[in-house]
Structure 1
Amino acid sequence: MDFTVAIPTFNGSKRLPEVLDHLQKQVGTEDIQWEVLVVDNNSNDNTAAVIFRYAEQWHPQRQIKYIFEPRQGQAYARSRAVKEASSELIGFLDDDNLPAENWVAEAYQFGKNNPQIGAFGGIIHAKLDQIEPPYFERIKGYLTIYDRGDTAFCYERKAKLRRIPAAPGSVIRKQAWQECVPPPEKLLIKGRDETTMAAGEDAEVMFYIQNSKWELWHNPKMEIWHHIPSYRLEKSYLLKLARGYGLSIHRTRLARFYPWQRPLLSFLLPIYTFRDSLKVLGYYLKYRNAIEHDLAKACEWQAKIGQLYGPYLRIKKNQ
């Protein structure tokens, strides 16, 4: 098998058909042996029935497999996908990610031509169910909408602004995962906390790979569309999402460091708290009149508050 498309999902029966329809329309894959793995992460809807229905009329030269993972959390679902994948290159799609018709071909070719790369991502566009609101450009990052240019580049570990590929639509080499990523039980982040919206499990995996001999890259020829329903653009949802983004920063900050370095960071916690407190205060004093009526400013305000509280949320949850 040359390539695996892995789709972790939880109660995705209504979202999955659109993703699978796009995968059925892939072009340029005549000489590629590839499969689709749908990892059902303990759903209680009819996700399984949807997959079995598609399997009955799936392309005869491809494969689609249904896998049930009872342990809740993206970390468990993605780890199970890696274990079950029959290929070295594994492309991850969320159940609301719609790949371009050449996504599989471009992902496979890039990975095949660059064996030193452990993981790579592409461009993520937005597919909205409504007219784009005026504030969208300023809040799209919270919704994982990224366009990092039309030129391929390596994400340097020693760069001043350390970056990694966004998880949706990314490809990870199985060997890199097996060498660098701990079992899901030992990861700092298991999945999104639905109460606080704190997440970051995908970023943790990318940082583990970036901290190794493997390279991380941007491949602009890989494009997906993130399908965003209207409710995700409502004020209440965006404010909660932004707060969760801020709460996740400390956990992903820990993941950037080698395990032996992490205990040392506890001594820096008072410094982080003091610095983040100043940022919160400074932001409020500067934009307090705009926060009420400017949604983008309100989201940024919530993200800064979340960043301040993040370290203590982690300590509380571990206790």
Structure 2
Amino acid sequence: MNALESVAAQELNRSIELEVIVVDNDKFASAEAICTRFRAAHPLVRLSYVQELTSGVSYARNRCLREASGKWIAFLDDDEVASPRWLIELHSTASAHHADAVFGPVLAKFCGPTPDWLRASRTHERARFASGTRIGWRDARTGNVLLNRELIKTAGEFDYRFAKTGGEDSFFFACALRSGARLVWCDEAEVHESVPLQRMTKRWLLQRAFYGGSTFTRLNVAIYGRHVYIVWAIHGAGMLLIYAFPALFSFILGRPKWIFYVQKMVGAVGKLIAPFSKFTVYGQK
């Protein structure tokens, strides 16, 4: 509900018409009641609710693309809250820099006390850039983005091979870059993401690092070909060697940053096992 409320509170120019689409990827339609309450509270907001029964983030995002009717399409996750000038800042930057897609910062909002080791891990921190900076696919995500509908014609839809693992957004924008798209950053378009308690544990952080390393390698294979498996396997082995000593040293001395080094090592293991996960290279069957 907070995400929808933040969209309803957007400061928009009169020339901009807002269309809100909620795609519910839950077979139990858990978001339907929320949308009903929102409509009652905001009768002037044009809101559409649809249910996507095929589970997976790629299916949900592609349903968003199919349901949207505007020239510009913005994505906001259900656990995020947008700042009041979120859309206007994204749109202004797109116009000023002739961008095909504009991205903004996602800032973590912890739902509980944050221990030193959690902050030292930097898991919930993401890179930020000066507004107008052109960015690559590694920093391109759908958690906070405004994209031109024309981009779909060149980048295609979100790839279903990443539906269960994530990374579908990075691959989408990598395809867009290949076709000459211009991806730009807008640092003023902030959104805040709630970090629940279950994502504030060492177990969750290390699991994320492992699967993140594997998905990152699979993304590179999908973009550049199978030969990069060797590159990232060597890279993973090197990371294990590089971070082993500082991880042990920090742990013995009781320094909170030990978790940062261990995350790097676990991510490296994920890169090493990536070739053994079932995956199809883009364009092949």
TM-score range, shorter chain: 0.7 to 0.9
| Change beyond 3 A, Cα 1:289–1:107 | same
Shift of 1:246: 0.9
How far apart are the structure 2 equivalents of 1:278 and 1:147?
24
SS in 1 for 2:49: strand
Q: Which of residues 80, 87, 92 in structure 2 aligns to 1:104? A: 87
Q: Could you tell me whether the CA contact under 8 Å between 2:109 and 2:192 is conserved in 1?
A: yes
Counterpart check, 1:214 vs 2:196: no
- In 2: Cα distance, 1:224 partner to 1:272 partner: 32
Q: Deviations over 1:233-290 (max 9, x none)?
A: 1111111111111111112212433xxxx2xxx3453454344223324432553354
Q: TM-score, normalised by structure 1?
A: 0.78
In structure 2, distance between residues paired with 1:27 and 1:310: 45
Secondary structure at 1:126 match in 2: strand
Distance, in Å, in 1 between the alignment partners of 2:139 and 2:223 is 10
Counterpart position of 2:74 = 91
Q: Give the match's secondary structure for 2:103.
A: strand
Residues 237, 222 of structure 1: CA spacing in aligned structure 2 closer, same or farther, 3 A cutoff? same
Match status 1:25 vs 2:9: yes
For 1:131 and 1:37, how far apart are their aligned partners in 2? 34
Taking the aligned partners of 2:134 and 2:70, their CA distance within structure 1 comes to 23
The whole-number CA distance in structure 1 between the counterparts of 2:169 and 2:187 is 20
Aligned residue identity for 1:100: S
Letter in 2 for 1:70: L
- Measured after TM superposition, the shift of residue 301 of structure 1 is 1.8
- Partner AA of 2:104 in structure 1: G
Q: 1:77 — aligned with what? A: 60
Query: CA separation in 2, counterparts of 1:274 and 1:107?
Result: 39
CA contact (8 A) 2:243 2:264 kept: no
**CA distance 1:64–1:289, shift in 2 (3 Å):** same
Q: 1:63 to 1:268 in 2, by over 3 A?
A: closer
1:26-76 C-alpha deviation (Å, 9 max, x unpaired): 22344321111001113425311211221223251x311101111111111
Specify the alignment match of 1:127 in structure 2. Answer: 109
Aligned to 2:219: 252
Contact 2:79 / 2:194 at 8 angstroms: preserved in 1?
yes
- Report if aligned partners of 2:106, 2:191 keep a CA contact under 8 Å in 1: yes
Superposition deviation, residue 19 in structure 1 = 0.8
Counterpart selection for 1:278 from 226, 238, 243: 238
Of all paired residues, the percent bearing the same amino acid is: 20
Counterpart Cα distance in 2 of 1:53 and 1:191: 30
CA RMSD of aligned residues (A): 2.7
**TM-score, normalised on structure 2?**
0.86
Counterparts of 1:91 and 1:204, CA distance in 2: 18
- Does residue 2 of structure 2 align to residue 38 of structure 1? no
Cross-structure match for 1:57: 41
Deviation at residue 23 of structure 1 after TM alignment: 1.6
Per-residue CA deviations over 1:193-234 (Å, capped at 9, x if unaligned) read: 4xxxxx311111111111112111111121100111122111
- Which secondary structure does the structure 1 equivalent of 2:213 belong to? helix
d(CA) in 2 for partners of 1:248, 1:223: 26
CA contact (8 A) 2:140 2:169 kept: no
Corresponding residue of 1:152: 132
- 1:305 CA drift (Å): 1.0
Opposite residue 309 of structure 1, the aligned amino acid is I
How has the CA–CA distance of structure 1 residues 271 and 112 changed in structure 2, closer, same or farther, with 3 Å as cutoff? closer
User: Contact between 1:164 and 1:206, CA under 8 Å: does it hold in 2?
Assistant: no
Query: Which residue does 1:230 correspond to in 2?
Result: 197
For 1:87-121, what per-residue CA distance to the aligned partner results, in whole angstroms no more than 9, with x for missing partners? 1111111111110011122223333444x422120
Alpha-carbon distance in structure 2 between the residues aligned to 1:275 and 1:123: 28
2:202 is the counterpart of 1:202: no
Residues 153, 218 of structure 1: 8 Å contact kept: yes
SS at match of 2:154: helix
For the structure 1 residues 315 and 206, does the alpha-carbon distance in structure 2 shift closer, same or farther, using more than 3 Å as the test?
Answer: closer
The unaligned stretches of length 5 or more in structure 1 are 1-16, 194-198
Does the CA-based 8 Å contact 2:3-2:82 persist in structure 1?
yes
Q: Does 1:313 align with 2:277?
A: yes
Residue matched to 1:192: 164
Q: Deviations over 1:181-201 (max 9, x none)?
A: 2x45xx2633234xxxxx311
Q: Which runs of no fewer than 5 residues in structure 2 stay unpaired?
A: none
